[in-house]
C-alpha cells in the first residue's frame, strides 16, 4: 500500500467501533456504483484500511534520537551537544500518538477491528462482489480490478498484524524519516519512506539475524537522510563529475536492506546525478541465502523498476550480492563485478557482534573501499549498538582500526577512524526491531539504547 503520510497525520483519532462503517454495510458499500466526482467505495475502504494501519501497524518514524556526543573527531569544531532537530521532530504529534496507543491497547477495539477485517475479506470473496469488480474488460475496469485485488491483499496483511500473529511472524512496516532542514536542495523530498518485510528469526540458526531490521540500521538510515552531503558529497558538489563511473555505494551485512534502500531513495532525491544517463549504483550484500531473498523482495517493493523484467533506467540502480566477510577477506585474485571497481561509500549497521567481525571487515574494506584522490574521500560509516552482552566484540573495533593521527605526518595509508560519536536513542518501534537490543536506563529512568557511530577511511594512524 502506498504510504500516504499526510492523510495519516490528519486522521481523527477515534476508536474502530466509532470510526468504521458497520460490518452489515460492507457488502452494500462494495457494490455501490461509482458516482462522478465522488470518492468510490474502494477509495473509501482504502481510507479505512489506512486508518486501521495507523493504529495497528504504524510506520516507524525516525530513530528516536535523544542526544549525541563526539568521543573523537579530527574536526575540533564538531558540536558536543544534544541533537535537538531529530528529537523535536519526533515530539510533534505526541498527543495524537498517545491517543493511538490507548486505542491500540484496548482489547475490545482490537477484536472489533479483527472482526471487521475478516468480514471485509469474506464479503470481498462473494461471487456477486467479485463479478462486480472483475467483469468489466475495459481499461477503467482493469484499474478497478487492480484496486480491488490490492484492497484484499492489504486487508489480509492488516488482519495478520492486528491479530498479532502475523502468520508465521512476517511483518511489513514503513520506516519514515524526515529530511529536516538538511535536505540536499529545495527539490529534496520532505521525508523518505522505506517499506520493509521482516521475517521471523530462526532460533536454531544464528544466520537468520538478517531477516529482521535492527535499531542500528534505523539510526544510520536517519543519518543518511538528514545529512546527504556527508555521505554523497561527491555527487552533490559535482567534484566527481567527468569520471567515467557512477558513484558506487556498498552495504555490508544489509539484512532487510533499510540502509541501502534509504541510501537509494536519497540518491534518487538528489536533483542531478554524476551522469545524466548512468544511474548511481548501490550494492546491498549479505551472506545467508534466505536473508538475500528477503532483501531482494524488499528492493522490489521499494523499487519495482529494479526487477530484471523492467529495464527502465532510474537515477539509481540497486542490486543484491552474496558476500561473506570471512571468505572475501581471504580471497585472492581479481574481484568480479559488482564488487569491483571499489566503492565511494561503504555502509554497515550492527555488523560487529563476534570477535572476528572487525578484522574480517577491515580486510574486506582494504579491497572494497576506493583509495582517496585530491577530490574524493571515500568513507565507511558504521553504526553499532553498545550492548552490554557484546562489549568485547564491539570493543574490537578500536583494537583493529587505529584513530587517525592529529598531525599531518606523512606515512603509509591505512584504514583509520576519523570520528567516533555516541548516539543515544529512546526505545521505540525502531529499536525494538531486533530481539537482542538491550536497553539501559538513563538518569530519568527512561529506557535508552546507545550506538557507537564510526567514520572510517584511508589515513595515517596515531602512532603510540
Ligand atoms: C544484526 S544483523 C544486522 C542487519 C542489518 N544491517 C540491520 O541493521 O538491520 C547482522 C547482519 O550481518 C550479516 N552477517 C553476519 N555474518 C556475516 C558474514 N560473515 N558475512 C556477511 N554477512 C554477515 C547477517 O546475515 C545479518 O544480515
How many whole angstroms from 73 Cα to the centroid of ligand 1? 27
Instruction: Name residue 184's beta-bridge partners.
Output: none
Q: Name which of 263, 177, 220, 210 is nearest 382 in CA terms.
A: 220
Name the strand (E) or helix (H) holding 116.
helix 107-124
Contacts 24+ apart (CB under 8 A), 266-269: 266/184, 266/192, 266/224, 266/225, 266/228, 266/231, 266/232, 267/232, 267/235, 267/315, 267/316, 268/314, 268/315, 268/316, 269/179, 269/183, 269/184, 269/187, 269/188, 269/189, 269/192, 269/228
Q: What is the pLDDT of residue 132?
A: 85
How many whole angstroms from 302 Cα to the centroid of ligand 1? 21
- Closest atom of ligand 1 relative to the 383 alpha carbon: 8
Kindly provide the residue ranges of all beta strands, DSSP E only, lying in 290-437, ordered along the sequence: 316-322, 345-349, 379-385, 414-426
Q: Which residues contact 35 (CB under 8 A, 6 or more apart)?
A: none
Q: What is the pLDDT of residue 357?
A: 94
How many whole angstroms from 255 Cα to the centroid of ligand 1? 6
Q: What is the pLDDT of residue 209?
A: 78
Query: Which protein residue's CA is at the shortest distance from atom 24 of ligand 1?
Result: 210
CA–CA dist 77, 79 (Å, integer) = 6
Q: Residues with Cβ within 6 A of ligand 1?
A: 207, 209-210, 213-214, 216-217, 253-256, 258, 286-288, 291, 323-326, 349-351
For 43, phi then psi, to 5°, come to -70, -35
- Closest atom of ligand 1 relative to the 324 alpha carbon: 20
Neighbouring CB atoms inside 10 A of 445's CB total 6
SS (H, E, C) 173-241: EEEEEECHHHCCCCCCCCEEEEEEEECCCCCCCHHHHHHCCCHHHHHHHHHHHHCHHHHHHHHHCCCCC
How many whole angstroms from 351 Cα to the centroid of ligand 1? 5
- Closest atom of ligand 1 relative to the 360 alpha carbon: 19
- Closest atom of ligand 1 relative to the 207 alpha carbon: 25
How many whole angstroms from 289 Cα to the centroid of ligand 1? 12
CA–CA dist 58, 79 (Å, integer) = 33
Q: Name which of 313, 330, 233 is nearest 279 in CA terms.
A: 313
Q: What is the pLDDT of residue 354?
A: 86
Contacts 24+ apart (CB under 8 A), 169-172: 169/199, 169/200, 170/197, 170/198, 170/199, 170/200, 171/57, 171/197, 171/198, 172/57, 172/196, 172/197, 172/198
**Residue 135 — left, alpha, or beta (φ > 0 → left; ψ -120 to 50 → alpha)?**
alpha
- Quick check: 22 and 123 in contact, CB under 8 A? no
- Closest atom of ligand 1 relative to the 214 alpha carbon: 9
**Cα→Cα distances 381→187, 202, 292, Å:** 26, 28, 21
- Quick check: 350 and 382 in contact, CB under 8 A? no
Q: Which residues of 90-112 are buried (b: 16+ CB within 10 A; e: fewer)?
A: beeeeebeebbeebeebeebbeb
Place of cell 552482552: 389
How many whole angstroms from 210 Cα to the centroid of ligand 1? 5
Mutate to test the pocket of ligand 1, among 286, 325, 355 (most ligand atoms within 8 A of CB): 286
How many whole angstroms from 424 Cα to the centroid of ligand 1? 22
For 33, phi then psi, to 5°, come to -70, 150
- Closest atom of ligand 1 relative to the 348 alpha carbon: 6
Q: Is the N-terminal amide bond of 338 cis, ω within 30° of 0?
A: yes
- Closest atom of ligand 1 relative to the 353 alpha carbon: 1
Query: Which protein residue's CA is at the shortest distance from atom 2 of ligand 1?
Result: 210
Neighbouring CB atoms inside 10 A of 55's CB total 23
3-state helix, strand, coil in the chain (%, to 5): 40, 20, 40
Could you tell me the mean pLDDT of each successive run of 10 residues in the chain, 464 residues long? 42 78 89 71 89 83 78 63 38 59 79 89 90 81 85 85 60 86 64 87 67 91 92 71 79 97 90 69 95 94 70 77 96 93 96 92 97 88 84 82 82 92 74 42 61 94 71
Query: Which protein residue's CA is at the shortest distance from atom 23 of ligand 1?
Result: 253
How many whole angstroms from 214 Cα to the centroid of ligand 1? 10
Q: What is the pLDDT of residue 99?
A: 75
Angle at the Cα of 166 from the Cα atoms of 286 and 48, rounded to 5 degrees: 115
Query: Which protein residue's CA is at the shortest distance from atom 21 of ligand 1?
Result: 324
- Closest atom of ligand 1 relative to the 433 alpha carbon: 9
Q: Name which of 242, 313, 324, 325 is nearest 280 in CA terms.
A: 313
- Quick check: 360 and 325 in contact, CB under 8 A? yes
DSSP-derived pairing of the beta strands 414-426 and 65-73 = antiparallel
Place of cell 472482526: 115
Q: Name which of 324, 197, 323 is nearest 258 in CA terms.
A: 197
Mutate to test the pocket of ligand 1, among 207, 209, 210 (most ligand atoms within 8 A of CB): 210
Four-residue CA torsion sign, 270, 275, 278, 281:
negative
**Cβ-based burial of 182 (10 A; exposed 0-12, middle 13-18, buried ≥19):** middle
How many whole angstroms from 262 Cα to the centroid of ligand 1? 17
- Closest atom of ligand 1 relative to the 325 alpha carbon: 20
Amino acid at each position: 500500500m502506498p504510504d500516504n503520510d499526510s492523510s495519516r497525520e490528519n486522521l481523527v483519532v477515534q476508536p474502530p467501533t466509532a470510526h468504521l462503517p458497520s460490518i452489515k454495510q460492507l457488502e452494500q458499500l462494495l457494490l455501490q456504483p461509482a458516482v462522478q466526482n465522488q470518492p468510490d467505495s474502494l477509495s473509501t475502504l482504502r481510507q479505512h484500511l489506512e486508518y486501521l494501519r495507523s493504529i495497528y501497524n504504524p510506520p516507524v518514524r525516525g530513530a528516536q534520537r535523544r542526544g549525541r556526543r563526539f568521543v573523537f573527531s579530527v574536526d575540533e569544531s564538531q558540536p558536543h551537544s544534544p541533537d535537538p532537530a531529530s528529537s523535536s521532530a519526533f515530539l510533534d504529534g505526541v498527543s495524537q500518538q498517545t491517543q493511538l496507543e490507548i486505542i491500540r491497547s484496548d482489547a475490545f477495539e482490537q477484536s472489533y477491528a479483527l472482526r471487521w477485517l475478516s468480514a471485509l475479506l469474506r464479503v470481498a470473496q462473494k461471487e456477486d462482489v467479485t463479478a462486480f469488480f472483475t467483469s468489466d474488460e475495459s481499461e477503467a475496469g482493469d484499474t478497478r480490478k487492480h484496486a480491488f485485488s490490492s484492497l484484499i491483499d492489504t486487508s489480509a496483511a492488516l488482519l495478520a498484524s492486528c491479530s498479532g500473529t502475523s502468520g508465521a511472524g512476517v511483518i511489513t512496516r514503513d520506516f519514515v524519516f524526515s529530511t529536516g532542514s538538511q535536505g540536499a536542495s529545495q527539490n529534496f523530498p520532505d521525508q523518505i519512506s522505506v517499506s520493509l518485510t521482516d521475517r521471523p528469526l530462526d532460533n536454531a540458526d544464528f544466520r537468520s539475524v538478517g531477516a529482521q531490521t535492527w535499531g542500528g540500521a534505523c539510526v544510520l538510515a536517519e543519518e543518511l537522510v538528514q545529512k546527504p552531503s556527508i555521505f554523497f558529497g561527491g555527487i552533490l558538489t559535482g567534484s566527481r563529475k567527468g569520471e567515467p563511473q557512477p558513484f558506487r555505494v556498498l552495504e555490508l551485512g544489509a539484512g532487510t536492506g533499510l540502509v541501502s534502500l534509504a541510501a537509494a531513495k536519497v540518491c534518487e532525491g538528489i536533483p542531478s546525478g554524476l551522469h545524466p544517463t548512468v544511474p548511481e549504483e548501490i550494492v546491498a550484500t549479505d551472506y545467508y541465502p534466505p536473508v538475500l531473498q528477503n532483501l531482494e523482495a524488499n528492493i522490489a517493493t521499494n523499487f519495482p523498476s529494479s526487477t530484471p523484467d523492467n529495464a527502465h533506467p532510474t537515477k539509481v540502480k540497486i542490486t543484491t550480492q552474496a558476500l561473506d566477510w570471512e571468505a572475501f577477506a581471504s580471497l585472492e585474485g581479481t574481484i568480479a563485478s559488482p564488487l569491483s571497481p571499489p566503492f565511494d561509500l561503504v555502509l554497515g549497521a550492527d555488523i560487529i557482534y563476534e570477535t572476528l567481525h572487525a578484522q574480517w571487515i577491515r580486510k574486506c574494506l582494504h579491497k572494497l573501499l576506493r583509495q582517496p584522490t585530491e577530490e574524493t574521500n571515500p568513507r565507511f560509516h558504521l553504526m553499532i549498538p553498545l550492548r552490554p552482552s557484546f562489549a568485547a566484540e564491539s570493543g574490537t573495533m578500536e583494537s583493529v582500526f587505529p584513530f587517525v593521527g592529529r598531525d599531518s605526518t606523512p606515512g603509509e595509508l591505512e584504514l583509520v577512524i576519523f570520528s567516533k560519536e555516541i548516539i543515544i536513542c529512546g526505545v521505540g518501534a525502531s529499536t525494538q526491531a531486533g530481539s537482542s537490543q538491550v536497553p539501559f536506563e538513563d538518569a530519568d529512568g527512561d529506557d535508552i539504547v546507545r550506538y557507537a557511530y564510526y567514520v572510517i577511511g584511508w589515513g595515517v594512524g596515531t602512532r603510540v
